[in-house]
Amino acid sequence: MLDQTEQEKKAISGILDKIIDSKQTVSLQNFEPALVAGKILSLLKERDRQILAKRFGLLGFPARTLEAIGKEHNLTRERVRQIEKDSIKFLRSKLDQEQLAESVKVLAHIIHDSGRIIKELELIKMLSFESTEEEKRSVLFLLHIAEELLEVRESEMYHAAWASVTYNHEFFENIINTAREILKAEGKPINELTLIEKLQASEFYKNNAADLNEKILKTYIEISKDIAKNPFGEYGLKEWREIKPKDVGDKAYIVLKHHAKPAHYSEITEMINKHGFDKRTANKESVHNELIKDGRFVLVGRGIYALTEWGYKKGVVADVIIEILERSNQPLSRDEIISEVMKKRMVKRNTVLVALSNKSLFNKVQRNKYELAAKAQ
């Protein structure tokens, strides 16, 4: 895939440098992928044009396999592959003559400016302004036509990407490994700004500052599958459940943590679906059933849940009052108890008063003060 010899890389590198420095580079604002793709395809003979258009899903054709195209044109699968290969080679040789090369060079310029590699989806998003399938497929076609660009196929480690022939994979890996170590040291998701700042403070960045900037760091991180981002823009390792939630309980934990206050299970369900962790739609019954048995959550009111890590504990209001009085180690007034309970439970004032009236648990002493019944014995 990226196995060119150093000699080949240096040879094409000169071409790329001229591309980047060219004063005739077409601006991104005026770039029209579908129009350019159509003009380039018009250079081919009718049969070859149709075959290439069908392979990439252009000129109104849906994208088709080699086998499907072969059946339509009464050709073998391998013959179709050869026609595709020869057609692309022919078009590359004709670009400069037809004054269409500048449009293709826009791609090279963007990729070079992004650190010589960019995630395919990000590149398409930048270039297919109308966001139509035709525009997206046109961008992919132009990428394949551009001789100075290399396709980096999707793998377990990386998202599909496109690279310049001057791309240095070892350099890329050093950045990703540094980011991975930063996240391991943090032990929890961090926002983009924090991650970038820590990367810029690393030794590798300092030693290579001339070839790096914030944009390149962001581009590299987006390509790695080891480092992922949750719907709140926080980065972490892909195996972390706060980044890639495994079930509805994980999703509820993430949204409630960012909500930063207790919420009813129906509201938590709405937040889960709003942030779209995946294609699955949560329903409030399953969310309620999950939260009530998950130790990360505490029922603090009628259908209202809080996170245990916020200091909330399981139990009825009477249990909360017992804990408050034990911690106080002295009688507390009714208002003091109510105030403390309200910090841990979302209940009505009268609910607390009813709990305090339980004489087997609490004794009223002095003036409107209460202590544990056990202490009076």
What is the pLDDT confidence band of residue 105, given thresholds at 50, 70 and 90? confident
Q: Compute the 3-state secondary structure of the chain and give helix, strand, coil in percent, each to the nearest 5.
A: 55, 10, 30
**Once rounded to an integer, what is the mean pLDDT over residues 210-226?**
94
Q: Is 16 in the same domain as 62?
A: yes
For residue 28, the model assigns a pLDDT of: 62
DSSP 198: H
CA neighbor of 128 nearest in space, from 159, 106, 150: 106
Q: Is 157 in the same domain as 38?
A: yes
For residue 15, the model assigns a pLDDT of: 44
Q: Is 158 in the same domain as 196?
A: no
Q: Is 302 in the same domain as 178?
A: no
Q: Is 141 in the same domain as 191?
A: no
For residue 11, the model assigns a pLDDT of: 46
pLDDT at 321 over 70: yes
The amino acid occupying position 173 is: E
Which of 164, 198, 220 is where one domain is finished? 164
For residue 26, the model assigns a pLDDT of: 45
**Once rounded to an integer, what is the mean pLDDT over residues 62-88?**
95
pLDDT 10s digits, 145-158? 888 899 999 999 99
Which of 111, 137, 164 is where one domain is finished? 164
Indicate if the alpha-carbon torsion angle 12, 16, 22, 25 is positive or negative: positive
Copy the structure tokens of residue 304.
């209202």
**Once rounded to an integer, what is the mean pLDDT over residues 2-18?**
46
- pLDDT-wise least confident of 30-44, 124-138, 208-222: 124-138
Burial of 180 (0-12, 13-18, 19+ CB in 10 A): middle
What range does the domain containing 282 cover?
248-310
Q: With beta carbons less than 8 A apart as the criterion, state whether 43 and 128 touch.
A: no
Q: With beta carbons less than 8 A apart as the criterion, state whether 271 and 255 touch.
A: yes
CATH code at 285?
A: 1.10.10
For residue 348, the model assigns a pLDDT of: 78
In a domain, 70, yes or no: yes
- pLDDT-wise least confident of 19-28, 108-117, 251-260, 321-330: 19-28
Could you give the maximum distance between any two Cα atoms of the chain, in Å?
102
How many C-beta atoms lie closer than 10 Å to residue 24's C-beta?
A: 9
- pLDDT-wise least confident of 204-213, 260-269, 309-318: 309-318
CATH code at 328?
A: 1.10.10.10
In a domain, 326, yes or no: yes
For residue 243, the model assigns a pLDDT of: 95
Q: Is 212 in the same domain as 337?
A: no
Who has greater pLDDT, 1 or 200? 200
Q: Is 127 in the same domain as 186?
A: no
Q: Nearest 10 degrees: CA dihedral of 20, 21, 25, 31? A: 30
In a domain, 141, yes or no: yes
For residue 21, the model assigns a pLDDT of: 43
In a domain, 237, yes or no: no
pTM over 0.95: no
pLDDT 10s digits, 118-129? 999 988 887 766
Number of domains the chain is built from? 4
The terminus-to-terminus CA distance of the chain in angstroms comes to: 82
Q: Is 305 in the same domain as 327?
A: no
Q: Is 28 in the same domain as 146?
A: yes
Distance of CA 9 to the CA centre of its chain: 32
- Sheet of 332-333, strand order: 332-333, 369-372, 362-365
Most confident of 4-18, 113-127, 255-269: 255-269
Q: Is 173 in the same domain as 160?
A: no
